[in-house]
Amino acid sequence: MVINTELSVMAYNYPTKKLSAYLSDDVGSELTFYALIEAFHFAKHWLPYCKKFNIELRSPAAYFASSSVSGQSDPDFSKIKILIDSRDEEKKDIDGVRLPNFVYVA
């Protein structure tokens, strides 16, 4: 949920020098940090896609769950959908711990 919010904030049509988003993690979780890095990598694809197609639902989870995306045939739509759907739900880190359920960009 936090990462979807971060993606939404990054998608604001606002001068980047005048907008900052701060994520406060009192525990200093490496998982939160890792998820934020992945979100920034994903944003390189997601934000231009949102601007190109004038998408108002900037949260990927909300957008792809909506009924308005069924039947899309645009090649860019397929690429973004693959970035989201191709994540490995059972992906583990080097210690064998399951990674958080997030967008894994290949």
* Phi, psi (degrees; rounded to nearest 5) at 92: -125, 155
DSSP 28-51: --HHHHHHHHHHHHHHHHHHHHHH
Per DSSP, the three-state class of 1 is coil
Q: What type of residue is 98? A: R
Known binding residue 76? Answer is no
Q: What residue numbers does the annotated binding site cover? A: 26
Q: What residue numbers does the annotated binding site for UDP-alpha-D-glucose cover? A: 26
